[in-house]
Amino acid sequence: MSPAIGGEAAGLLAADGAGWSREGVAERARRDLRSGSFVNLGIGIPQLVADFVEPEAEIYIHSENGIIGAGPGAAEGEEDADIVDAGKRHITLVLGASTFDSALSFAIMRGGHLDYSLLGGMEVACNGDLANWAAPGRTPGVGGAMDLVQGAKEVWVLLLHRGKGGESKMRVRCELPLTGAGVTTRVYTDLGVFEPAGAAFRVIERAPGVTRALLEEATEAPLEWPEPDA
């Protein structure tokens, strides 16, 4: 656990100086989580958010396999076979945790009882569509992704703005199979913070060192700028 906020030494900035690192994206999203909330962290950058949640914040992490109060990974030699997270890693439980069966766990998601669902993404569109479960050439496992995007009060997508080939993941329409239509309420990337606004992404914040020109170039969808541009 390293609750280091804002420090370059903590590796929160991208190596090339433009924007955040993966850890930086996680730390930025964590700053917007309210104390005393319940949150599910999906595979990918969302998992890193746990490293920035201080125990005194009383932010409880839900794991789809039946846990509220999922804690850090178990130390070597102290693993309990009956305590795993959604990625099947051996973890620990925090004080005040509860465990329950899968039917209740998914009732928690669909029933609107989670404050936040944070998911990774392959593509996200300015109409709020999210694609994060099926990519070409991969065995499609859907897991709990389609449930996680329904019902949580806020659905945040945390992803790198561009793919390995430089292609924008911030799109007008998703080309990959959808996880959910119109479900995304906020997007955190290495280049900034955004809200799907229908025909464009509304820019909430530019990451450190990111120019307006870079953001325009890296985003396939139109951008809607605050007035005046902050």
Residues forming the site for other proteins (CB under 8 A) = 63-67, 80-84, 88, 93, 99-103, 105-107, 109-110, 134, 139-147, 150-151, 177-181
Cα 37 from Cα 73, distance rounded (Å): 21
Helical H runs in 32-94? 45-49
CB of 130 or CB of 200, closer to other proteins? 130
Q: Which of 23, 64, 78, 227 is catalytic?
A: 64
Cα 157 from Cα 162, distance rounded (Å): 14
CB of 136 or CB of 166, closer to other proteins? 136
Task: Name residue 206's beta-bridge partners.
Answer: 192
Backbone angles phi, psi at 8, to 5 degrees: -65, -30
Q: Which helix (H) or strand (E) holds 195?
A: strand 192-196
Q: CB atoms < 10 A from the CB of 164, how many? A: 6
CB of 4 or CB of 146, closer to other proteins? 146
CB of 133 to other proteins, least distance (A): 9
CB of 150 to other proteins, least distance (A): 4
CB of 83 to other proteins, least distance (A): 5
CB of 33 to other proteins, least distance (A): 23
Instruction: Check if the beta carbon of residue 39 is closer than 8 Å to that of residue 118.
Output: yes
Extract the tokens encoding 8: 């370059």
Question: Residue 56 catalytic?
Answer: no
Cα 183 from Cα 109, distance rounded (Å): 13
CB of 107 or CB of 214, closer to other proteins? 107
CB of 209 to other proteins, least distance (A): 37
CB of 57 or CB of 93, closer to other proteins? 93
Smallest CA-to-CA distance from 210 within 191, 227, 195 is with 191
Cα 57 from Cα 54, distance rounded (Å): 6
> What are the catalytic residues?
64
